[in-house]
Amino acid sequence: MTAPTITEPQLALVRTAAVAALGVLPTSRELTAGNPVAATPDLLTTGQAITARFSGAATGEVVVVVGQDLADALKESPLGELDLTAAVRPALEAAARAFGPVVLDPGQLMEPGVALSSIAAKGDAVAVPLLDAGQVNAVLAMALTPWPADAGGGVAPRGPAGAAPMRGGLDMLHDVEMEVSAELGRTRMSVRELLSLTPGAIVELDRAAGSPADLLVNGRLIARGEVVVVDENFGIRITEIVAPGTERE
């Protein structure tokens, strides 16, 4: 079986996409984009991978493999365990949009070897090692159908050698989007009571009128406040920030 030919324009395009992804990829270390290579399953065997398909100005698949440090930071966040796919999605989008306006699917969490094996099987997939002091700390891999004819356009690199700004601790999570919800109160009901609900029925909650509403992130209480109306929409004016560990007080 003849190995696929990967052209210089393809290599240049994927490196441009990798530099764009580095600008929004949460990481605790300063990473630089290495030399593009043919995608292989053994580029990075630890950490977690997120893969997503895209279509629009270009059609293809993008894979980002991140190190265990990011996965651990998301699990140990003060706001509770956060979604790795949501954290890495901006980097996936930035890489895909280096080829023009595209629509990205929700993405899927996979083991690094499985994700890289899958995209490498496409034959003409290109990967860019993302390096920390010369060591591979993350990987971006892409396969397009078909590949653009040239490497014109794209996103200009940021800084020397495509370096991304260093972020550590909680800073690496600042761009992660999370679901925020407000809760007026709770109650418990039997299945019989639930099935008997009809339009107009009133469900009594466990909170007195005028009591503050709860603001939750991923189900964890972070603040309390009073309900207000903002441009015909409900909102919450924060009156109290809840310290970690005191949620049940």
Q: Which of 173, 194, 217 is the last residue of a domain?
A: 173
Domain count, the chain: 2
Q: What is the pLDDT of residue 52?
A: 92
pLDDT at 154 over 50: no
pLDDT band at residue 168 using 50, 70 and 90 as cut-offs: very low
Same domain, 154 and 225: no
pLDDT band at residue 3 using 50, 70 and 90 as cut-offs: very low
Q: Which of 173, 200, 229 is the last residue of a domain?
A: 173
Q: Degrees (nearest 5) of the Cα angle 157, 158, 159?
A: 115
Over residues 127-150, mean pLDDT: 84
Position 128 in a domain: yes
pLDDT band at residue 140 using 50, 70 and 90 as cut-offs: very high
pLDDT band at residue 166 using 50, 70 and 90 as cut-offs: very low
Position 2 in a domain: no
Same domain, 64 and 95: yes
Same domain, 42 and 102: yes
| Average pLDDT taken over every residue of the chain | 79
Higher-scoring residue by pLDDT: 243, 31: 31
Q: What is the pLDDT of residue 9?
A: 78
Domain span at 220: 180-241
Residue type, 125: A
Q: What is the pLDDT of residue 163?
A: 43
Position 211 in a domain: yes
Same domain, 114 and 222: no
Provide the percentage of residues in the chain whose pLDDT is more than 70.
78
Position 249 in a domain: no
pLDDT band at residue 64 using 50, 70 and 90 as cut-offs: very high
Position 116 in a domain: yes
pLDDT at 151 over 50: no
Over residues 21-47, mean pLDDT: 84
CATH number, domain of 225, equals 2.30.330.10
Answer left, alpha or beta for residue 239, where phi above 0 means left and psi between -120 and 50 means alpha: alpha
To which H or E segment does residue 63 belong? strand 60-66
Same domain, 49 and 168: yes
Tokens of 180: 């925020």
Same domain, 221 and 100: no
Same domain, 98 and 189: no
Same domain, 62 and 122: yes
Q: Tell me the per-residue pLDDT of 186-221, one tens digit each, with 9 for 90 and over.
A: 898 888 888 899 999 999 888 888 888 898 886 778
Same domain, 235 and 127: no
Q: Which of 173, 188, 207 is the last residue of a domain?
A: 173
Q: What is the pLDDT of residue 171?
A: 56
Same domain, 63 and 161: yes
SS (HEC) of 147-214: CCCCCCCCCCCCCHHHCCCCCCHHHHHCCCCCCEEEECCCCCCCHHHHHCCCCCCCCCCCCCCCCCEE
CATH number, domain of 103, equals 3.40.1550.10
Mean pLDDT lowest for which of 23-27, 44-48, 151-155, 224-228? Answer: 151-155
Over residues 213-232, mean pLDDT: 84
SS (HEC) of 38-60: ECCCCCCCCCEEEEEEEEECCCE
pLDDT at 244 over 80: no
Same domain, 127 and 228: no
Q: What is the pLDDT of residue 80?
A: 63
Residue type, 174: H
Higher-scoring residue by pLDDT: 142, 45: 142
Provide the percentage of residues in the chain whose pLDDT is more than 90.
11
Position 1 in a domain: no
Position 248 in a domain: no
Same domain, 116 and 131: yes
